[in-house]
Chain A
């Protein structure tokens, strides 16, 4: 099987859960993006790209549910994993707090363009979405956006930038992704992986 795992904060927990499920993968070297173990192959990619790899043919992947939702990739998501937990929230400067229903015409800065559009269109509110690649909390500070939609773990970053949460857009956790064709062509292998990880999740709970 080919796995694609996210570089960055989810990597350690991803390797740990696979190890406990019986798929021992060494911590990859600094700059090696592909490695082999026991006949499997492991790729490292940016968390945002993991669903794309899985949709286009890598058998299995792990990444955050925020990313899966944002990419809208056509993949199976058989399991929620018990790490990478945080939330995606709408936040804005403390002094200008407005309920989301009243944000018609507001500018929203975010890395999550699609989720943000869906969130506001479900409220029937029309906003302008500005797509940024990072440090989104700067946007209201310099006046290019009225609010942001971004990941909140502890809230420290928001507070440091004078922002408060107005609404939770979605809960986020890591998820296991499976390629749709691999699910058919490697049915037994994939099912035993899913069941093994499921057992680990259950024991941990």
Chain B
């Protein structure tokens, strides 16, 4: 048995409190879900167990749970939760979902929420790369039979897979250009509009390194810091029971490593007779206190 300090978890909580504040400022409301979910094929991740002849999941992916269980026509939600994936210890995630608006507008808003959330943690050095499934769908029109291979090539970033396909040279060159495209100018209006609305020099279009995950509809994005070897988080546009929605999830443990926040605030120190009465008054006015013996 390994005994661990509480430090790891108090840091997770501290980072969460900053994120909560930012999400609330943007008008997003927190949801908390039960620990256990009845097993369902549409719910991703979670650790499976059997109980009384039924199958259940502990702490599965939150977005797929919301989709499975709730009918939301318009909403701005966020959650902070551990997410298990078959094991006993999981990742801690903070996620935001904007459901039922216009996709380009929602994406711009959600990216702004993301930017301010990172900034609230003292993280200024990061990039957000936008990709698009629609761009690849259009580029592969007429060669639908090879789409699967092309998506696989994107996933691994292995252009050799595309090079080996029996398609003409011109097409291959077009795909190669998309594969290596990273910049702030794009022919795809939707991405151009998002860049314009968000108006932040840390947001780029990158068509070749953002993974085309199956549950997204079009625009997808990934946020990362050059200081850190793994993505901080990502998200995109998906379909919430037929309605457009945009969401993202951040990895809290990564945020803990990158964050630069101070846990302590200056607080009024009180001592002696009457200090608890005085402290109650200060707290009710929102002033931090510490009563000493």
Contacts and interface: CB of A to CB of B under 8 A. Distances in A.
Question: In this complex, which of A74, A178, A179, A184 has the most chain B Cβ atoms within 10 angstroms of its Cβ?
Answer: A184
Contacts of B182: 184, 187
Interface string B221-233: 0001010111100
Interface residues of B, number: 17
A197 B131 CA distance: 27
B230 A178 contact: no
Contact of B156 (A56, A77, A185, A191): A77
Nearest to A75: B156
A155 interface: no
Contacts of B228: 57, 181
Secondary structure dominating the interface of B: loop
Interface string A75-111: 0111110000000000000000000000000000000
A183 interface: yes
B159 A184 contact: no
B156 A57 contact: no
Interface string A53-68: 0011110000000000
Contacts of A187: 182
Contact of B224 (A74, A79, A181, A191): A181
A57 B230 contact: yes
A55 to B, nearest CB: 7
B129 interface: yes
A141 interface: no
A198 interface: yes
A79 B160 contact: yes
B157 A76 contact: yes
14 contacts: A56-B230, A57-B230, A76-B157, A79-B158, A178-B157, A180-B209, A180-B224, A181-B229, A181-B230, A181-B231, A183-B157, A184-B206, A184-B209, A187-B182
The 6 A-B pairs with the shortest beta carbon distances in the complex, nearest first, are A57-B229, A76-B157, A77-B156, A185-B226, A181-B224, A78-B158
